[in-house]
Structures are given as structure tokens and as C-alpha cells.
């Protein structure tokens, strides 16, 4: 039953990322809510327990977007592995004063890395499929991109809090 709730939560976050986020934000400022879900899941459950849900969210993201199937799942799993490696080296949770700024900085860096790697994947898949004009087109030095990073970092706080509360609720009641 707990797995069903987590699957529904992952699906809701991915569908919110794809459909409803465009209503609230400009197209260049849409936060990467799926990456925020990955960061939250790895912080709360650990990488090993959340890997299934990371791949599930990535495959859902690929199913509703125009990417080659599996590329978002691979990138999200790579981001989760990077977070896990960082968490083994540095203990963020024990330092309460540094936790929120470190989470903000980590989510900003991971958003930037995810967008760069996604652009590389789009260019490589465009060359592999022999499609002309398939370019990522992100201006990394615009104010819209900075707002995207800030909105993604703020969504990490919201999804982290929501996932933590949902995890406690599911552990108590199920």
C-alpha cells in the first residue's frame, strides 16, 4: 500500500511538472519539479530505496515528453547517485543551521548540471537520429534561467517537506 502511495505521488509530481507548471510560470522559468522529487527522495529514503521511484519518475517523464525513452530516467538516476555520493561524504542532516542553505545550493547546482546533461543528450540523440535543428537552446546567463534555478530550489523545499510528512504518515498508518 505504501508503494502505491509513493507511485501515485511520483506520477502526480511528473504530471504537475509537465502540464500544470506551464500555467503558473513562463516557459523559460518552469522549475524542474521532477528533479526536486529526486533530491527529496534521496535525502529521505536513501539512494538504494528511492532508485526504483527515480527510474519510475524518469520513465513517466519520458513517456509524456518528446525525449528518447529512458534518457530522463538515466539522468535522474545519475543525479540521485551524485546526491548519494555527496551525502556519504558530508552529513547535511546533522547540521540544522546549514541544512537549508546547503539544500538550496545543492539543488541549484544539480539543476544546472541536469540542464547541461539534458542538452548534451538532446544534441547526441539529434545527431544519432540524423535530425537537423534539434538543439537545447538554453541561455544559461539570462534572468529567466536564474529564476528557474531559484524556483526549482524552492520547490525542493516544498517537495522535501511534503515527502517527509507523507513518509511519516505512511509509516504510522500503514
pTM of the prediction? 0.82
Which residues are CB-contacts of 12 (< 8 A; sequence separation ≥ 6)? none
Joined together, the cell numbers standing for residue 95 give 547540521
- Could you give all domains of the chain from N- to C-terminal order, each with its CATH number? 2-173 (1.10.1760)
What per-residue confidence (pLDDT) applies to 56? 93
80 burial via Cβ count (<10 Å: 0-12, 13-18, 19+): buried
Q: How far apart are CA 62 and CA 72, in angstroms?
A: 6
Residue 174 has pLDDT above 50, yes or no: no
25 phi/psi in degrees, rounded to 5 = -130, 155
Average pLDDT, the chain: 82
Higher pLDDT, 172 or 45: 45
CA distances in angstroms from 129 to 61, 91, 122, 126, 132, listed in the order given? 20, 43, 10, 5, 9
What confidence tens digit (pLDDT) does each residue in 94-137 have? 777 788 888 888 899 998 998 888 888 777 776 666 655 545 56
Joined together, the cell numbers standing for residue 146 give 536564474
Amino acid at each position: 500500500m505504501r508503494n502505491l502511495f509513493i507511485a501515485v505521488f511520483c506520477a502526480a509530481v511528473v504530471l504537475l511538472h509537465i502540464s500544470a507548471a506551464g500555467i503558473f510560470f513562463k516557459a523559460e522559468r518552469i522549475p524542474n519539479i521532477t528533479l526536486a522529487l529526486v533530491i527529496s527522495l534521496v535525502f529521505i529514503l536513501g539512494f538504494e530505496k528511492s532508485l526504483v521511484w527515480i527510474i519510475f519518475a524518469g520513465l513517466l517523464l519520458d513517456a509524456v515528453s518528446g525525449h528518447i525513452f529512458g534518457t530522463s530516467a538515466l539522468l535522474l538516476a545519475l543525479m540521485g547517485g551524485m546526491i548519494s555520493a555527496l551525502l556519504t561524504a558530508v552529513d547535511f542532516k546533522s547540521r540544522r543551521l546549514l541544512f537549508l542553505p546547503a539544500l538550496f545550493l545543492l539543488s541549484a547546482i544539480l539543476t544546472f548540471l541536469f540542464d547541461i546533461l539534458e542538452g548534451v543528450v538532446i544534441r547526441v540523440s539529434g545527431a544519432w537520429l540524423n535530425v537537423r535543428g534539434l538543439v537545447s537552446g538554453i541561455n544559461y546567463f539570462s534572468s529567466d534561467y536564474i529564476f528557474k534555478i531559484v524556483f526549482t530550489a524552492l520547490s525542493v523545499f516544498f517537495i522535501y517537506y511534503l515527502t517527509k510528512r507523507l513518509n511519516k504518515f505512511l509509516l504510522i498508518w500503514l
